[in-house]
Structure 1
Amino acid sequence: MYQKYGSYANKKEIRCVLVGDACVGKTSLIVAYTTNGFSDRYTPTAFDNFSVTVNVDEKPLRLELCDTAGRSEFDTIRPLSYADANVFLLCFSVAKPESLSAVFNRWLPELRAVSPSTPVILVGTQSDLRLNMGRVISGLPRSKGSDLVEWRTASRIASQFNADYLECSAITHHNLKEVFDLAILEGLNRKSPVINNEPKQKVNSPNKWILFQSSAEKQSEKTKSPSKKVTPPFKENSFFGLKKLVSIMKF
C-alpha cells in the first residue's frame, strides 16, 4: 500500500532555498528551470524570489524558489531567508573543488544553526563540464578531468549529512527537472529514493509519480512588488512534465 502524498493535502506551497558559494550557478539553475533557457551573463544576486506552479497528481502546488547571495557581505542577513524553508538545495560547482569544501566548512553549519531539521539536497552544478560540452558551447578552454570533483567524492560527502546527491547542468538541462522534483518530494515531507546519478548508471522503478510544471512567475524580494506572471517559452506540461518520472517509495 502506498501513502502517496504524505502531508501534501495540507500544503499549497513549498519554499525551496538555494545556497552555496558565489558563481556556482544557483541563479542559472532557477532561470533554466523556470524559462527553459540559459543566460551566460553573470549578474550578482542579492536576494530574489521566483515561483512556479506545478501539478502534483493533478493538484496545483506553488513552488517558491529563493535565490540567495553567496558573498560574505550578506552573511548577516542571508540566514533570514532560511527560517521558512521546506527544503534546501546546497549547491557547489563540480569544476570548483573549493566550493565543495565550503559545503562542510561554511554552508552546512550556517544552515543547521537556523534550520537543524530541514531537508538538504547536495547539488553539483555545471555537470556538462564533465564532457566539456558547456565549455565548447561557451567557447571556453576545455577543462582537465583532474580539475573536476569526482562524483563518488561528492556523493560520499552528501552521505555524511544524510543528504541525496544530484549533478545537473543549466546548459544541457541534464538532471535539471530531477533536482527540483526531488526538492518537491522532500518539501512534502515524503520518503524519497536515494537516486544514484553516477554517470552511465540508471535507476529503474515500476512506481512513478508525475510532476508537471504549468506556469512561472518571478518576484523580487528587494522590492517586495506583487508577483508578475511570466510566460515561459514552452507549452504547458510539454517539456518539464514529460521529461522524467520520479519514483514513489513504499512506507
Structure 2
Amino acid sequence: MGSSSEYDLSLKILLIGDSGVGKSSLIRSFTSNYVENLPTTIGVDFEIKFLTVAGKKLKLTIWDTAGQERFRTLPGSYYRGAQGIILVYDVTRRESFTNLADIWAKEIELYSTSKDCIKVLVGNKVDKDANRMVTTDEGIAVAQQLGCLFFECSAKTRVNVDKCFEELALKILEVPSLSEVGSSNKDTLATIVPEKQTYNTTPNVGCCG
C-alpha cells in the first residue's frame, strides 16, 4: 500500500446505470485493459487508478455498481463522499437512456451528500454506431437538463475513455469544497476502502476522437 505522500488528493468516483451498459468495461478500459464479456457485477466493486491532472497527483477510487433491479436501490453509503458520479447508458439501448432521468438521476438527488458533486453523462458503445438508438443531440440535451458533462465513449476502442475521467477529475479540482474533501480523504479513505489493485498511469493510446 502506498503512503499518502505519494499523491495529493483522493477522489471517489461512482458509476451508475442499468445492467449491461458497460460500466465495468469502461472502468477496466481506463484502469488496465478492456475485457470482452465481463461478468455482470453483483453488488459493488471498485478499481484504483493513480493519475496526474493539472499538476496534481490523484488517487481515483472508482466504484462500479450493479444495475439489476434487485440491486437498484443502492445504500446511501455508496454515494456518500463521492465527488464525481458517472451516469452510463448504452447508445444502442434506448431504455438504458430513458432510465437515467427516470431512475438514476432521482437516486442521486436522494443520496448524494454533496450538492457540488460533478456529474458526467456517458453514452457508451459508440463502436456499435450502426445499431445506435440514441442520438448525440439527445444525449447532449439530457446532459444539459441534468447538469452533467457529456461524452460518448467506447470501452472497447477506448474512444474518449481517458478524456472522460480526466475531464471529470479536472472539474472536481476546480471546486474548492470537493478538492478539500479529496485532500482530507488521503488519511481516512484507506481505512474505509481496502486497497485492491493499483495501476500506473499509462500514456493515452488512441483514446480521443
Q: Which of 135, 146, 157 is matched with 1:161 structurally?
A: 146
What is the DSSP-based 3-state SS (H/G/I as helix, E as strand, rest coil) of the residue aligned with 2:98?
helix
**1:28–1:86 distance in 2 versus 1, CA, 3 Å:** same
**CA apart distance, 1:225:** 8.0
2:123 maps to: 124
Unpaired runs of 5+ in structure 1? 1-9, 133-142, 192-223, 245-251
Tell me by how many angstroms 1:74 deviates.
1.9
Q: Which runs of 4+ in 1 moved over 4 A?
A: 241-244
Q: Is 1:187 equivalent to 2:172 in the alignment?
A: yes
CA drift of 1:87 comes to 0.8
Amino acid corresponding to residue 127 of structure 2 in structure 1: D
Q: Secondary structure at the match of 2:42?
A: coil
Aligned residue pairs, count: 185
Match among 39, 45, 49 for residue 48 of structure 1:
45
Structure 2 residue 57 is matched with structure 1 residue 60:
yes
Counterparts of 1:147-226 in structure 2, within 5 Å, are 147-190=132-175, 226=194
**Aligned-residue offset at 1:113:** 1.2
Contact kept? 1:128, 1:171, Cα under 8 Å: yes
From the superposition, tell whether residues 152 and 54 of structure 1 become closer, same or farther in structure 2 (CA, over 3 Å): same
Q: 1:57 to 1:101 in 2, by over 3 A?
A: closer
- Let me know the Cα RMSD of the aligned residues: 2.6
Residue 238 of structure 1 and its aligned partner are, at CA, apart by 4.5
CA distance in 2, matches of 1:18, 1:243: 19
Partner of 2:203: 239
Q: Counterparts of 1:190 and 1:41 in 2: how far apart (Å)?
A: 34
Per the normalisation by structure 2, the TM-score is: 0.78
Aligned to 2:83: 86
Matches within 5 A, 1:93-112: 93-112=90-109
Question: Which runs of 5 or more residues in structure 2 are unaligned?
Answer: 1-6, 177-191
User: Which protein is richer in helix relative to its size?
Assistant: 2
Helix, strand or coil for the counterpart of 1:21?
coil
Cα deviation code 1:217-237 (max 9, x no counterpart): xxxxxxx8842445x6xxx65
**Identity level (%):** 27
Find the aligned partners of 1:127 and 1:242 in 2 and give their Cα distance: 15
In 2, Cα distance between equivalents of 1:172 and 1:95? 16
Return the offset for 1:61.
Answer: 1.1
Counterpart in the other structure of 1:14: 11
Q: CA deviation at 1:188?
A: 1.8
1:104 Cα deviation after fit:
0.8
Counterpart CA distance in 1 for 2:203 and 2:137 is 30
SS at match of 1:155: helix
Q: Residues 109 and 243 from structure 1, CA distance in 2 versus in 1: closer, same or farther, beyond 3 angstroms?
A: closer
* Deviation for aligned residue 1:45: 3.1
TM-score under structure 1 length normalisation: 0.66
In the alignment, what sits opposite 2:22? 25
For 1:155 and 1:126, the matched residues in 2 are separated by 16
Q: CA–CA distance in 1 between the matches of 2:106 and 2:96?
A: 15
